[in-house]
């Protein structure tokens, strides 16, 4: 079944999540994960506390990126009604979202995720 946009429902949902900034907001589970962590060292001073917050934020963004890419790959591989054009649009949107989260990491994206997505597109749609 396709929605008004002609996309399959799973693809529409994923695209809407990307467009709404799902990856930029905070989630309750992320806050719970952070609050459950404890350190055994002495209380940090202000500069190290800031770096600890920066590290936690970086880890949160990495988890979101991983989850987003897992969702994109799952939708492409499992949604039988998804066309090649729709899958390519999901790939392009995921790259935009990843680069919005990590603006200076396009090379890392091209090394890590681009080959995975290309392989998946080749396997799923038998593209050469």
pLDDT tens by residue, 1-24: 445 455 555 665 555 555 555 444
Residue with tokens 């996309």: 7
How far apart are alpha carbons 72 and 49 in whole angstroms?
A: 35
Q: Is the pLDDT of residue 57 over 80?
A: yes
pTM confidence score: 0.65
Please report the sign of the dihedral spanned by the C-alpha atoms of residue 74, residue 99, residue 84, residue 125: negative
pLDDT value at residue 9: 59
């Amino acid at each position: 079944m396709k929605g008004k946009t002609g996309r399959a429902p799973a693809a529409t949902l994923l695209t809407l999540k990307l467009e709404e900034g799902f990856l930029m907001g905070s989630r309750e589970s992320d806050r719970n994960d952070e609050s459950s962590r404890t350190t055994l060292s002495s209380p940090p001073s202000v500069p190290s506390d800031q770096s600890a917050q920066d590290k936690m934020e970086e880890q949160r963004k990495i988890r979101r990126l991983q989850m987003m890419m897992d969702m994109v790959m799952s939708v492409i591989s499992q949604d039988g009604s998804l066309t090649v054009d729709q899958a390519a649009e999901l790939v392009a949107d995921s790259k935009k979202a990843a680069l919005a989260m990590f603006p200076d990491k396009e090379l890392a994206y091209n090394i890590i995720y681009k080959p995975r997505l290309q392989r998946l597109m080749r396997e799923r749609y038998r593209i050469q």
